[in-house]
Amino acid sequence: TVSVLYWCKVRMSAIRALLVALLFPLHAWAATITLRVTTSTIADSDSPHTFTPTVHSSSASCTATSISNPSNGDVNTVTASCSFAAADISQVRIPNSGPDGWYIAKAELQINGARMRLWAVNLSPPAFETWIDDDPAKPDHATGIWEMLPLRMHFTTQSITNAESVSTFTPSFISTSSATCAGTSIAAPAQGASYWSVAGCWALSTLARVEITAPSSDSWEVQKASIDRGGGTLEQWVATNQAPPSLTPIIDDDDLTEYKKAVLQAPNIKVRIVTAATPASADSLHTYSPKFISKTSVVCDGSRVVAPGLGSSILSLGVCSFPPEDLERVEISQQGNDGWDISELYVEVASVEQQWWAINESPPARSTVVDGDGATR
């Protein structure tokens, strides 16, 4: 009986090992890598040559299918069968194929259905767009070299008049150990346009904040600044140099000291406030500053809410010394006689939104009004 049980145990172990190997294949097994290369719309990018990308890990490489005669505006999708997984890719390279140039607007890896944009690191600073050309005068364009840089911040400019700046803004990525790395610069940001600043200094996990110092008196008013967490996820960050904090930082070398340098940080408290869609009194012109209060009465300022409109869903984010699990209540005080009708309020805990209740109402309710009209509640 002992022998039979031992034999069964050994056989089950072997079967279990086989199942693990089938269900969780090692990175060393062959993987199909998909690469999308978009040709720029520049006249002399109409190249008659054939370009062959190669995909590299830290210890191996593989060759993708070739791209023949790329023309203006093409989206060229190629694949490579590699001995490593997409997560292990360190570089994509495309060497030149002769004196006529191929202008590339962007290169993207397709991983688990998501497109991951790569940056051309053969240029300094890195850029989305580059060209590949056998021009001895421009050796940095002999081979296009793309990498997925770990530090990536996306900016959207406010569509207001004085946001159209002629200056160049250079974000600084600062680590938890106070090391500083310059990101790619943003020159003359225009109204309503979006920009990336990227750097490859260290891992995203060690990034503490991003700072942008105003280069001159003309301002750059940012509608949204978001860090790229990977996998297509952008996380909106907070300008903590402004009091209260703001989701729409202004960078301007004027008399207001808080605008001279934007300090952007990741929020750890996330509150979403839904404004009622119908009452006229919800159309407030005021600025509200939510307070996040912990179970030990620590008060943290949430980002300001400016003129909430009817039927809008608005974020107030906080960079607080306590985690969301320790948040006890959210307080919003009235700022004038016109009211802000709030229909719902949600707090995000462990990536899940929890609906909270207005306890200034009796009995507690999902909706309330923040108003200085004399109603004490």
- Residues with Cβ within 8 Å of residue 88, at least 6 apart in sequence: 27, 57, 58
Mean pLDDT over 231-249 rounds to: 93
Predicted local confidence at residue 189, as pLDDT: 93
282 pLDDT band, cuts 50/70/90, is: low
pLDDT higher than threshold 70 for residue 281: no
Are the beta carbons of 303 and 317 closer than 8 angstroms? yes
Residue type, 15: I
Residues 8-41 pLDDT 10s: 444 444 444 444 334 334 344 568 999 999 998 8
The DSSP 8-state label assigned to residue 64 in this structure reads P
Residue bearing the bigger pLDDT, 46 or 66: 66
Residues 111-163 pLDDT 10s: 777 788 899 999 888 888 898 988 888 889 999 999 989 999 999 999 877 77
Residues 61-87 pLDDT 10s: 999 999 998 988 899 999 999 999 887
Predicted local confidence at residue 176, as pLDDT: 96
Predicted local confidence at residue 135, as pLDDT: 84
Mean pLDDT over 331-356 rounds to: 91
Q: How many residues comprise the chain?
A: 377
Predicted local confidence at residue 9, as pLDDT: 42
Sign of CA dihedral 356, 358, 359, 363: negative
Predicted local confidence at residue 43, as pLDDT: 65
Rounded to an integer, what distance in angstroms lies between the CA atom of residue 272 and that of residue 168? 34
Mean pLDDT over 264-280 rounds to: 92
| pTM given for the model | 0.79
H or E stretch covering 106 = strand 102-111
Residue in 246, 272, 269, 285 with CA at minimum distance from that of residue 343: 272
The DSSP 8-state label assigned to residue 202 in this structure reads S
